[in-house]
Structure 1
């Protein structure tokens, strides 16, 4: 149901409908005892970047954090309604993201506390998650056939990306953060050019600056101008319509 290599590539973790998580050496022998605790199928798992934690998601609606010896790191993270289809660690290993059948994306501290309010946007279940390498963005894909981006401090960013005609079941981001790849029930694999969160913010500010409703001197237009003036990497865009 889910499988992943440890960051050191010396162990493989697997999860199953039997409600267990298991670690394996590369010669195929078990590494320790099976981990038990979930009360339903375990369908998602991820190693932390340092390899010192494993996150799992289950049909019991919980996210669990485990140490490599199989002992719990924190109390179960119980907020989802229904299956937790996806889990992911942030690049710095300090935050866990989860997505589930309840159409929400959630962020957690490693001690089990929610790190933000639930993010709503998907119209059906969330199937896959991936952090951008810069740690500022999280991407999600789901049964509503969309790919969505979220800024960790504020939530949804830009409009969803559409192209698939069925559930998007898998998602990966390139190491340089420039591309995302998705695979769906429509039997297609699609590539999406991401750029950076700064380029997205720049594009948004540029579009706002030229919007007909923002031609007047209002509080909103002054706020947009302040953002562009305060960020050096947004300057020099005046006079070039997107």
Structure 2
């Protein structure tokens, strides 16, 4: 906890800032909440970030994913940070990143769909703007249960599968295919998840995505 408190928050890129803030909240929670009460407490934990959030909006573009503070992924990070800190979400406009048919890209002009950009858009857009997007993402699931990062990518990956399936669950849309077989294919003997069934080694990052995908299963 002392090490995290010593980090200069304003110097962190946005992804690391979000991780740092969430880690601070979890550590403080673990120090004061009895074990039997932690599951509920995690869902409502206050994060120590209200005083830090203004600095996020003053950062240079290179601190944001794809060096763009307005793309779906950057907006998703900013909005979830605000909500984590008990602040209301800000109005957003992602029309510059929207493709015909409702899918989204993290780049402007939007020319190619991204599973992660579309999943991020589903999290930050109001319900009335998700109507075309959610079914379009649902249709991109592949028969092995996976989602690929982009249309032309030959193999699905765990990051895209986790974010897409979790976003669809939030929209109350069922998956077309079961996730279980794909997840088993990514699971390794050391209890870690790998990026794809053909990736030989698992790691902590993809294990997080594996757990997220499991949270999106019915």
Structure having the higher Rg: 1
TM-score by length of structure 1 reads: 0.24
TM-score by length of structure 2 reads: 0.26
- Normalized per residue, the structure richer in helix is 2
Q: Which structure is higher in RCO with an 8 Å CA cutoff and minimum separation 6?
A: 2
